[in-house]
Structure 1
């Protein structure tokens, strides 16, 4: 649509709504003769008479009514598109692809997402489960907008912000002798068989867990490996062993498991929000800033 046709349609819609040339021209802040001339030119281009007019009355012809209805639809669509574009540019609308690890989805992520949806209902979020090293690759390639992964993050192309500092807990079969205790010293697990994630998929977590155990004087004796948290919990429930899991606020309830805090432990696993420094998605900026607000900051560790 050329600029002149758009202007003619704009003038026509004003007259169609006012059914009065003087009021329409005042609304448009345009001289009345210019409005009349524009509508005559529009009728000539369309080959259709749009208005019946005399010295007293203005009314729409059948063709004018049909033309106005379609113009109104188009105007509403354009107004909606303009509003949506403004919202998208400000991060209030749009789309995010977010990668996550088990520790995030089994911990604070669901609550954070729920609060974000409340404040930004027009941002669509696609969640994709990825291990930490896969997320780093996908952030670099642009397949992910945001990752929730295990720190530390060392790439100068990946920006990051601490999302959650997760304390370790012991996960035991419900009838394990240590399950009777309210808290468990880490060294009490020294002779227990351990179930951990497999070495490749959990490569960011296992070295940190091993280092933590070494500080307590032992190397965990791994008897089973599993691909996911649910698989690990299932094997623990089957009395195949015990495990350490990073979160005192674990969103996991099973009657066949006992989850106990560790005594005198300040160890934390850092779960990081990570994104590529060149990602200009406004919805990404909105999510990151929302995650830093006081009402979604990391909760204080349990005592």
Structure 2
């Protein structure tokens, strides 16, 4: 797989048209672009696009791949900039981690805050599960992480960014999709897709506590190791899962979300850092947390 495949794929996905992407974004011939997309689908072993009433549309696999392709291109740009800076006099370094999927909302805001520091700082980006981010902070491999409050990890401090409600997500044709909200008792008897206690312990604990409060004895029919796998299992099995608000950025049109009636389970998004890290740049970013929140969330107040 080459970078051009990712660039071509993202252009087609964002334009919703092979011809528009070829002419306006990529300045290439449409037949050539079609071959590149076909080659990418062959290499991945999945279909990324289908033709719909409004033009070319992403499949569930394509929707999941799009988010990762965007992040990969962002990371390549960051790597290229780091390489250029490495040829210059020695500079400071700063590493930022993201719970996979949050880059879309928060990375632009952080980079805007750091823009004035970029000429003298090498910025690196990592995308991982929250427990891995906590371990990297502890080992000094990361300076800052957008993550869950992994409070079992000693030596870490957290600044709250927002409380994310957990939503019920299901196929568009699921019987519960006809409701404006899902009652806790509606989850009984459903084919439930759970989340991993190892890869997402904070989310799993919030869901388990919610089930306990409502007296729900629910055993998962399937277990997802990550968000992409959860989305894929919802689409392929017709099951229902409980996922945080940010998952709306990643679900295809064939999957819908419904709020949980009453007091829904919540999970926190925080900025985590090692309390022993004395980096001046870390202190600078921590002092601008309110500005980062405003840029990422606007006036939504979430």
Shorter chain as denominator, the TM-score bin is 0.5 to 0.7
Aligned residue in 1 for 2:149: 151
The whole-number CA distance in structure 2 between the counterparts of 1:248 and 1:128 is 18
Aligned residue in 2 for 1:109: 106
The 3-state SS of whatever aligns with 2:169 is strand
Aligned residue in 1 for 2:221: 223
Conserved 8 A contact 2:97-2:146: yes
Aligned residue in 2 for 1:200: 198
Conserved 8 A contact 2:174-2:238: no
Change (3 A) 1:110 1:196: farther
The whole-number CA distance in structure 1 between the counterparts of 2:116 and 2:207 is 36
The correspondence for 1:129, drawn from 127, 130, 138, is 127
Question: Runs of 5+ in structure 2 lacking a partner?
Answer: 1-88
The whole-number CA distance in structure 2 between the counterparts of 1:194 and 1:239 is 10
Aligned residue in 2 for 1:250: 248
Change (3 A) 1:146 1:168: same
Residue-pair matches, total = 210
Conserved 8 A contact 1:167-1:248: no
TM-score (norm 1): 0.60
The whole-number CA distance in structure 2 between the counterparts of 1:202 and 1:149 is 10
The 3-state SS of whatever aligns with 2:261 is coil
| Cα root mean square deviation, aligned | 2.8
How far 1:259 sits from its partner (Å)?
Answer: 1.3
Conserved 8 A contact 1:291-1:297: no
The correspondence for 1:283, drawn from 281, 289, 294, is 281
The 3-state SS of whatever aligns with 1:292 is helix
The whole-number CA distance in structure 2 between the counterparts of 1:159 and 1:166 is 19
Conserved 8 A contact 2:210-2:265: yes
- Greater helix share, 1 or 2? 2
How far 1:154 sits from its partner (Å)?
Answer: 5.0
Aligned residue in 2 for 1:191: 189
Aligned residue in 2 for 1:295: 294
The 3-state SS of whatever aligns with 1:288 is helix
TM-score (norm 2): 0.61
